[in-house]
Amino acid sequence: MTAAESLVAQLSQAFQGELLPNEPMARHTTFRIGGPADLYAQPADRASLLLVYRCAWELGVPALILGAGSNVLVSDRGFRGVVIATEKALKATSFEGDVASAEAGVNLASFVRACAKRGLAGIEGMCGIPGTVGGAVVMNAGANGCEVASCLLHADLLTPDLREVRLTRDELDLRYRDSALKGLGWVVLSATFRLTPASPDELMERVHQMETRRRATQPVGERNAGCVFKNPPGASAGRLLDEAGAKGLRVGDAQISTKHANFIVNRGNASAADVKHLMEMARAIVEEKYGILLEPELLMVGEWE
């Protein structure tokens, strides 16, 4: 019996949701790229999420927590272990005065809009970021001069030894597209933000303007995983790549967007190896021209050659 089969057997009837063995991760990433996970678990509720996480831990099966799959490149060989999706299990929001909370699987853009409609300002800059609230906390996601760290009060987390802990913004050590949680494998259960009262109409108008700008400058609607590289201090990775002539470069079906050079788009059947190769080419041309080594922003997961 494989570890994933033991896990399925252990979960038995107590688990509510979907358990898909050998599930292609291309079905669950915005890139539409990625080989099979030994097991893909889509728990239907919080109790089932805790159950699968606990059983994986007890059996020594590696677990990868996945939100919207919008910021990851999963290898062609896929992931040895269980991928646990949060979108169905952790989807509640709550509002009290100027404090707004969302469970980790809540769509970030929907949460931002719900806050804006209630006249709660502070996170509206993140309106167009594809992803979940949990992923946004781990990455300290940001756009339009606003990031999770700007307004986060605290996040509730589950540790691998199944303790529920609350960490404040400072304890989470949120930095530019980085936090103490990255690579740790803890489950973000929810995040709580302190926002500022503002006019709902004005906020919705700002959201509208930022979404329009994003559609004009980024390959929205195409298969991509957000910005590929972090911006180096004082510069824009997109601009450096553009000026170095990277736009339109292609490896197989992976292409550097002709709209914004810090995006790679999957033109059809791009493999993870194609994307990785293209990232290496892009880094090399920026390093040669500017002496700057770009650092990947997207998370590379799974088994690589």
Q: Which residues bind ligand EPU (CB under 6 A)?
A: 143-144, 217, 226-227, 230-231, 236-239, 242, 260-262, 297
Cα gap 30→223, rounded to integer Å: 6
CB 26, CB 34: distance < 8 Å:
yes
Minimum separation from the CB atom of position 260 to ligand EPU (A): 5
Nearer to ligand EPU by Cβ, of 41 and 264: the residue is: 264
Report, in Å, the least distance between residue 198 CB and ligand EPU. 20
CB nearer to ligand EPU: pick between 86 and 231: 231
Q: Which is nearer to ligand EPU, 158 or 260 (CB)?
A: 260
- Supply the minimum distance, in Å, between the C-beta of residue 278 and ligand EPU: 15
User: Least separation, in Å, of the C-beta of 102 and ligand EPU?
Assistant: 19
Closer to ligand EPU by CB, 78 or 122: give it.
122
Q: Which residues contact 221 (CB under 8 A, 6 or more apart)?
A: none
Q: How far apart are CA 127 and CA 208, in angstroms?
A: 9
For ligand EPU, the closer of residues 36 and 130 by Cβ is: 130
Residue tagged 């590379």 (tokens): 300
* Residue type (1 letter), 298: L
In whole angstroms, the minimum distance from the beta carbon of 276 to ligand EPU comes to 18
How far is residue 71's CA from residue 93's CA, in Å, rounded to a whole number?
23
Q: Measure the CA–CA gap between 124 and 110, rounded to whole angstroms.
A: 11
Beta strands in 118-225 (DSSP E): 120-121, 142-143, 146-147, 152-158, 164-168, 187-194, 196-197
Cα separation, 21 vs 44, in Å, equals 17
Closer residue to ligand EPU in complex, CB, 82/136: 136
Closer residue to ligand EPU in complex, CB, 20/220: 220
Contact criterion met (CB below 8 Å) for 133 and 191 = yes
Structure tokens, 161? 């030894």
Q: How far is the CB of 261 from ligand EPU (least distance, A)?
A: 3
Minimum distance from residue 231 beta carbon to ligand EPU (Å): 5
The number of residues in the chain equals 305
Q: Which is nearer to ligand EPU, 231 or 266 (CB)?
A: 231
Give Cα 15 to chain centroid, integer Å: 25
At residue 249, what are phi and psi to the nearest 5 degrees?
A: -60, 145
Interatomic CA distance for residues 170 and 113, integer angstroms:
26
> Closest approach of Cβ 66 to ligand EPU, in Å?
17
